[in-house]
Amino acid sequence: MNAPDVRRNGASTLLVAFLIAVTALPFSATDLRSQERPESGGTETFDGPVIGPTQGTLILAGGGRLGPEIWSRFVELAGGPEATIVVIPTAGAEDTFSDDWPGLDGLRAAGAEQLTVLHTRDPEVADSEEFIAPLLEASGVWIPGGRQWRLVDAYLGTRTHEALFQLLERGGVVGGTSAGASILASFLVRGDPTTNQVVMSDEYLDGFGLLNGTAVDQHLLVRDREEDLWEVLELNPELLGIGLDEGTALVIQGDRGEALGVSDVLVYDRSGPIPQTHLLRNGEAFDLARRSHLPVAVPHGAEHGTSSPSPRP
Protein backbone atom coordinates (compact mmCIF):
# COMPACT_ATOMS: atom_id res chain seq x y z
CA MET A 1 0.00 0.00 0.00
CA ASN A 2 1.12 3.54 -0.58
CA ALA A 3 1.15 5.90 2.37
CA PRO A 4 -1.83 8.26 2.47
CA ASP A 5 -1.06 11.60 0.87
CA VAL A 6 -2.91 13.89 3.26
CA ARG A 7 -0.16 16.26 4.38
CA ARG A 8 -1.22 19.64 5.76
CA ASN A 9 -2.25 22.17 3.17
CA GLY A 10 -2.89 25.68 4.41
CA ALA A 11 -4.59 26.74 1.21
CA SER A 12 -7.13 23.93 1.21
CA THR A 13 -10.50 23.99 2.82
CA LEU A 14 -11.66 21.30 5.21
CA LEU A 15 -13.84 19.85 2.47
CA VAL A 16 -10.88 19.39 0.16
CA ALA A 17 -8.84 17.84 2.97
CA PHE A 18 -11.64 15.43 3.75
CA LEU A 19 -12.10 14.39 0.13
CA ILE A 20 -8.37 13.77 -0.23
CA ALA A 21 -8.38 11.64 2.89
CA VAL A 22 -11.37 9.61 1.77
CA THR A 23 -10.13 8.92 -1.73
CA ALA A 24 -6.46 8.35 -0.93
CA LEU A 25 -6.30 6.46 2.36
CA PRO A 26 -5.88 2.73 1.72
CA PHE A 27 -7.59 1.65 4.90
CA SER A 28 -10.97 1.44 6.53
CA ALA A 29 -11.74 5.13 6.01
CA THR A 30 -12.30 4.41 2.31
CA ASP A 31 -15.27 2.27 3.23
CA LEU A 32 -17.01 5.38 4.50
CA ARG A 33 -17.33 7.04 1.10
CA SER A 34 -20.70 5.42 0.42
CA GLN A 35 -22.00 5.97 3.94
CA GLU A 36 -23.84 9.18 4.73
CA ARG A 37 -24.93 10.11 8.20
CA PRO A 38 -28.74 9.94 8.17
CA GLU A 39 -30.60 13.21 8.53
CA SER A 40 -32.62 13.71 11.68
CA GLY A 41 -35.96 11.98 11.39
CA GLY A 42 -34.99 10.02 8.29
CA THR A 43 -34.66 6.30 7.76
CA GLU A 44 -31.33 5.17 9.17
CA THR A 45 -29.48 2.50 7.21
CA PHE A 46 -25.89 1.54 7.93
CA ASP A 47 -23.51 -0.81 6.15
CA GLY A 48 -20.90 -0.23 8.86
CA PRO A 49 -19.52 2.42 11.18
CA VAL A 50 -19.78 6.00 9.93
CA ILE A 51 -17.66 7.75 12.57
CA GLY A 52 -15.64 5.11 14.40
CA PRO A 53 -13.39 2.27 13.22
CA THR A 54 -14.74 -0.77 11.40
CA GLN A 55 -12.53 -2.96 13.56
CA GLY A 56 -10.66 -2.34 16.78
CA THR A 57 -11.06 0.36 19.41
CA LEU A 58 -10.16 4.01 19.92
CA ILE A 59 -9.64 5.53 23.36
CA LEU A 60 -9.57 9.33 23.52
CA ALA A 61 -8.63 10.86 26.89
CA GLY A 62 -8.83 14.49 27.96
CA GLY A 63 -5.43 14.89 29.58
CA GLY A 64 -4.48 15.44 33.19
CA ARG A 65 -4.16 12.53 35.59
CA LEU A 66 -5.83 9.45 34.15
CA GLY A 67 -7.25 6.93 36.58
CA PRO A 68 -6.51 3.20 36.64
CA GLU A 69 -9.87 2.47 35.02
CA ILE A 70 -8.66 4.11 31.78
CA TRP A 71 -5.20 2.55 31.77
CA SER A 72 -6.62 -0.88 32.61
CA ARG A 73 -9.23 -0.68 29.84
CA PHE A 74 -6.54 0.20 27.31
CA VAL A 75 -4.25 -2.66 28.37
CA GLU A 76 -7.17 -5.10 28.43
CA LEU A 77 -8.23 -4.13 24.90
CA ALA A 78 -4.65 -4.45 23.69
CA GLY A 79 -4.63 -8.06 24.88
CA GLY A 80 -3.58 -7.95 28.51
CA PRO A 81 -0.24 -7.60 30.34
CA GLU A 82 1.73 -9.52 27.71
CA ALA A 83 0.38 -7.49 24.79
CA THR A 84 2.87 -5.66 22.58
CA ILE A 85 2.23 -1.93 23.04
CA VAL A 86 3.94 0.94 21.23
CA VAL A 87 4.06 4.40 22.81
CA ILE A 88 4.55 7.40 20.48
CA PRO A 89 5.54 10.41 22.65
CA THR A 90 6.40 12.77 19.77
CA ALA A 91 3.88 15.43 20.85
CA GLY A 92 6.23 16.14 23.75
CA ALA A 93 9.07 18.65 23.58
CA GLU A 94 11.89 16.27 24.51
CA ASP A 95 14.38 15.18 21.88
CA THR A 96 14.73 11.68 23.27
CA PHE A 97 12.50 9.37 25.31
CA SER A 98 14.13 6.51 27.18
CA ASP A 99 12.51 3.19 28.01
CA ASP A 100 12.16 4.37 31.63
CA TRP A 101 10.44 7.62 30.61
CA PRO A 102 7.85 8.52 33.31
CA GLY A 103 5.12 8.74 30.66
CA LEU A 104 5.06 4.94 30.68
CA ASP A 105 4.17 4.70 34.38
CA GLY A 106 0.38 4.53 33.88
CA LEU A 107 0.66 1.63 31.47
CA ARG A 108 3.12 -0.20 33.70
CA ALA A 109 0.85 0.27 36.70
CA ALA A 110 -1.93 -1.35 34.66
CA GLY A 111 0.28 -4.40 34.13
CA ALA A 112 1.71 -3.73 30.66
CA GLU A 113 5.00 -5.58 30.28
CA GLN A 114 5.92 -5.23 26.60
CA LEU A 115 6.35 -1.50 25.93
CA THR A 116 8.27 0.03 23.02
CA VAL A 117 8.90 3.77 22.68
CA LEU A 118 8.78 4.90 19.04
CA HIS A 119 9.83 8.46 18.24
CA THR A 120 11.17 10.59 15.40
CA ARG A 121 10.73 14.13 14.17
CA ASP A 122 11.73 13.24 10.62
CA PRO A 123 8.85 12.22 8.31
CA GLU A 124 11.28 10.36 6.06
CA VAL A 125 12.24 8.17 8.99
CA ALA A 126 8.55 7.75 9.87
CA ASP A 127 7.98 6.56 6.32
CA SER A 128 10.61 3.83 6.52
CA GLU A 129 10.01 0.11 6.91
CA GLU A 130 12.56 -0.11 9.71
CA PHE A 131 10.80 2.53 11.80
CA ILE A 132 7.30 1.07 11.47
CA ALA A 133 8.38 -2.51 12.18
CA PRO A 134 7.28 -2.40 15.86
CA LEU A 135 3.86 -1.09 14.83
CA LEU A 136 3.30 -4.07 12.55
CA GLU A 137 3.65 -6.40 15.54
CA ALA A 138 1.74 -4.28 18.07
CA SER A 139 -1.81 -4.75 19.31
CA GLY A 140 -1.93 -1.37 21.04
CA VAL A 141 -0.60 2.15 20.43
CA TRP A 142 -0.72 4.97 22.98
CA ILE A 143 -0.02 8.61 22.06
CA PRO A 144 0.68 10.87 25.08
CA GLY A 145 0.10 14.63 25.25
CA GLY A 146 2.09 17.66 24.20
CA ARG A 147 1.48 19.67 21.04
CA GLN A 148 -0.52 18.35 18.11
CA TRP A 149 1.55 20.01 15.39
CA ARG A 150 4.60 17.93 16.29
CA LEU A 151 2.65 14.77 15.49
CA VAL A 152 1.47 16.27 12.19
CA ASP A 153 4.97 17.29 11.11
CA ALA A 154 6.44 13.88 11.92
CA TYR A 155 3.77 11.39 10.89
CA LEU A 156 0.88 12.71 8.80
CA GLY A 157 0.78 10.89 5.46
CA THR A 158 3.61 8.49 6.31
CA ARG A 159 3.72 4.72 6.71
CA THR A 160 3.53 5.29 10.45
CA HIS A 161 0.16 6.97 9.91
CA GLU A 162 -0.99 4.12 7.71
CA ALA A 163 0.18 1.53 10.26
CA LEU A 164 -2.25 2.94 12.85
CA PHE A 165 -5.17 2.09 10.56
CA GLN A 166 -3.72 -1.35 9.93
CA LEU A 167 -3.50 -1.95 13.66
CA LEU A 168 -7.19 -1.13 14.06
CA GLU A 169 -8.04 -3.46 11.19
CA ARG A 170 -6.28 -6.24 13.12
CA GLY A 171 -8.62 -5.56 16.04
CA GLY A 172 -6.12 -3.61 18.13
CA VAL A 173 -6.54 -0.42 20.13
CA VAL A 174 -5.20 3.07 19.47
CA GLY A 175 -5.44 5.57 22.30
CA GLY A 176 -4.17 8.98 23.20
CA THR A 177 -4.52 11.73 25.74
CA SER A 178 -4.63 15.50 25.32
CA ALA A 179 -2.80 16.22 22.03
CA GLY A 180 -2.71 12.46 21.49
CA ALA A 181 -6.51 12.43 21.52
CA SER A 182 -7.07 15.46 19.29
CA ILE A 183 -4.75 14.09 16.59
CA LEU A 184 -6.94 10.99 16.14
CA ALA A 185 -9.82 13.07 14.74
CA SER A 186 -10.22 14.06 11.09
CA PHE A 187 -10.20 17.81 11.86
CA LEU A 188 -7.34 19.04 14.03
CA VAL A 189 -8.16 21.36 16.92
CA ARG A 190 -5.42 23.57 18.45
CA GLY A 191 -2.81 22.63 15.87
CA ASP A 192 -1.17 26.08 15.78
CA PRO A 193 2.57 25.79 16.55
CA THR A 194 2.73 29.14 18.35
CA THR A 195 -0.01 28.72 20.94
CA ASN A 196 -2.68 26.27 22.10
CA GLN A 197 -5.13 29.15 22.45
CA VAL A 198 -5.85 29.20 18.70
CA VAL A 199 -8.66 26.73 18.07
CA MET A 200 -8.16 26.48 14.30
CA SER A 201 -4.92 26.92 12.35
CA ASP A 202 -5.06 27.18 8.55
CA GLU A 203 -1.76 25.33 8.23
CA TYR A 204 -2.74 22.49 10.56
CA LEU A 205 -6.31 21.44 9.79
CA ASP A 206 -5.82 17.72 9.22
CA GLY A 207 -5.70 15.12 11.98
CA PHE A 208 -4.93 11.45 11.51
CA GLY A 209 -8.58 10.69 10.70
CA LEU A 210 -8.92 7.48 12.69
CA LEU A 211 -12.17 9.02 13.92
CA ASN A 212 -14.07 10.19 10.86
CA GLY A 213 -15.93 13.51 10.57
CA THR A 214 -14.95 14.79 14.02
CA ALA A 215 -13.07 17.48 15.90
CA VAL A 216 -11.76 16.61 19.37
CA ASP A 217 -10.80 19.05 22.14
CA GLN A 218 -9.39 18.22 25.58
CA HIS A 219 -8.80 19.67 29.10
CA LEU A 220 -12.35 20.88 28.50
CA LEU A 221 -13.74 22.00 31.85
CA VAL A 222 -10.47 22.52 33.68
CA ARG A 223 -9.37 25.09 31.07
CA ASP A 224 -12.84 26.60 30.45
CA ARG A 225 -13.02 25.39 26.85
CA GLU A 226 -16.68 24.37 26.88
CA GLU A 227 -17.67 26.83 24.12
CA ASP A 228 -14.60 26.58 21.89
CA LEU A 229 -15.75 23.72 19.66
CA TRP A 230 -18.72 25.79 18.52
CA GLU A 231 -16.19 27.97 16.69
CA VAL A 232 -15.16 24.93 14.65
CA LEU A 233 -18.72 23.75 14.03
CA GLU A 234 -19.85 27.22 12.97
CA LEU A 235 -17.61 26.88 9.91
CA ASN A 236 -17.89 23.09 9.60
CA PRO A 237 -21.41 22.10 10.73
CA GLU A 238 -21.07 18.60 9.31
CA LEU A 239 -18.47 17.73 11.94
CA LEU A 240 -19.25 16.15 15.28
CA GLY A 241 -17.47 17.88 18.15
CA ILE A 242 -16.14 15.85 21.08
CA GLY A 243 -14.90 17.63 24.20
CA LEU A 244 -13.04 15.64 26.85
CA ASP A 245 -12.35 16.82 30.38
CA GLU A 246 -9.26 15.79 32.29
CA GLY A 247 -9.23 12.34 33.85
CA THR A 248 -11.92 11.19 31.43
CA ALA A 249 -11.97 9.21 28.19
CA LEU A 250 -14.31 8.14 25.41
CA VAL A 251 -13.95 4.48 24.42
CA ILE A 252 -15.10 4.05 20.82
CA GLN A 253 -15.97 0.79 19.08
CA GLY A 254 -17.72 1.24 15.77
CA ASP A 255 -20.05 4.19 16.27
CA ARG A 256 -20.56 3.51 19.98
CA GLY A 257 -18.74 5.79 22.40
CA GLU A 258 -18.70 5.10 26.13
CA ALA A 259 -17.55 7.66 28.70
CA LEU A 260 -15.01 6.42 31.22
CA GLY A 261 -13.48 8.33 34.12
CA VAL A 262 -14.11 10.91 36.79
CA SER A 263 -15.49 13.89 34.82
CA ASP A 264 -17.49 14.69 31.68
CA VAL A 265 -17.50 14.20 27.93
CA LEU A 266 -19.46 16.75 25.88
CA VAL A 267 -20.64 15.96 22.35
CA TYR A 268 -21.45 18.94 20.10
CA ASP A 269 -23.87 18.64 17.18
CA ARG A 270 -24.72 21.52 14.82
CA SER A 271 -26.19 19.42 12.00
CA GLY A 272 -29.83 20.13 12.85
CA PRO A 273 -31.87 23.32 13.10
CA ILE A 274 -30.99 23.67 16.79
CA PRO A 275 -27.40 23.12 17.96
CA GLN A 276 -27.24 20.46 20.66
CA THR A 277 -24.78 19.58 23.40
CA HIS A 278 -24.92 16.09 24.89
CA LEU A 279 -23.28 15.33 28.22
CA LEU A 280 -21.86 11.91 29.03
CA ARG A 281 -20.66 10.73 32.41
CA ASN A 282 -18.89 7.55 33.43
CA GLY A 283 -20.59 4.50 31.91
CA GLU A 284 -22.96 6.46 29.66
CA ALA A 285 -22.93 5.64 25.95
CA PHE A 286 -23.58 7.61 22.78
CA ASP A 287 -24.24 6.68 19.15
CA LEU A 288 -21.83 8.90 17.22
CA ALA A 289 -23.50 8.26 13.85
CA ARG A 290 -27.10 8.86 14.94
CA ARG A 291 -25.94 11.53 17.38
CA SER A 292 -28.07 10.28 20.23
CA HIS A 293 -27.75 8.74 23.68
CA LEU A 294 -27.82 4.98 24.01
CA PRO A 295 -29.57 3.09 26.82
CA VAL A 296 -27.42 2.51 29.87
CA ALA A 297 -27.57 -0.83 31.68
CA VAL A 298 -28.65 -0.34 35.29
CA PRO A 299 -29.11 -2.75 38.22
CA HIS A 300 -32.22 -4.93 38.23
CA GLY A 301 -35.26 -3.02 39.41
CA ALA A 302 -33.94 0.41 38.49
CA GLU A 303 -35.45 2.49 35.71
CA HIS A 304 -33.87 1.98 32.30
CA GLY A 305 -33.63 4.91 29.93
CA THR A 306 -31.62 7.66 28.34
CA SER A 307 -31.06 11.31 29.01
CA SER A 308 -29.65 14.37 27.28
CA PRO A 309 -28.62 16.74 30.05
CA SER A 310 -27.22 20.17 29.31
CA PRO A 311 -23.58 20.86 30.15
CA ARG A 312 -22.92 22.16 33.61
CA PRO A 313 -21.87 25.79 33.93
* pLDDT recorded at residue 5: 45
DSSP E strand boundaries for the chain: 57-61, 84-87, 114-117, 140-143, 173-177, 185-187, 211-217, 240-244, 248-253, 256-261, 265-269, 276-280, 285-287, 292-294
Spacing of C-alpha 278 from chain mean position: 18
Residue 202 has what pLDDT?
94
pLDDT at 206: 98
CA nearest neighbour of 39 among 272, 277, 288: 272
Question: What's CA 169's distance to the chain center, in Å?
Answer: 16
Query: What local confidence, expressed as pLDDT, does residue 135 receive?
Result: 98
pLDDT at 99: 75
Q: Nearest to residue 89, comparing CAs of 64, 113, 117, 125?
A: 117
Alpha-carbon distance of 115 to 101, in angstroms, equals: 11
**Cα-based torsion angle of the residue sequence 272, 30, 200, 241 in order, rounded to the nearest 10 degrees:** 40
SS3 150: helix
The pTM of the full predicted model, rounded to 2 decimals, is 0.82
Which contacts qualify for 219-225: CB closer than 8 Å, 24 or more apart? Answer: 219/62, 219/63, 219/64, 219/178, 219/244, 219/245, 219/246, 220/62, 220/244, 220/245, 220/246, 220/264, 220/266, 221/245, 221/246, 221/263, 221/264, 221/312, 222/64, 222/246
pLDDT in tens, 10-44: 433 433 343 334 333 333 333 332 334 434 344 45
Can you tell me the distance from the alpha carbon of 33 to that of 40, in angstroms, rounded to the nearest whole number?
20
Q: What is the DSSP letter of 216?
A: E
Distance, CA of 311 to CA of 230 (rounded, Å)? 14
**What is the pLDDT, as a whole number, of residue 161?**
98
Q: Which domains does the chain have, with CATH numbers?
A: 14-31+51-294 (3.40.50.880)
- Which positions of the chain have pLDDT values less than 50? 1-43, 299-313
Q: At what angle do helices 159-169 and 129-137 cross, to 10 degrees?
A: 20
CA distances from 154 to 70, 126, 127, 158, 286 (A): 27, 7, 9, 8, 33
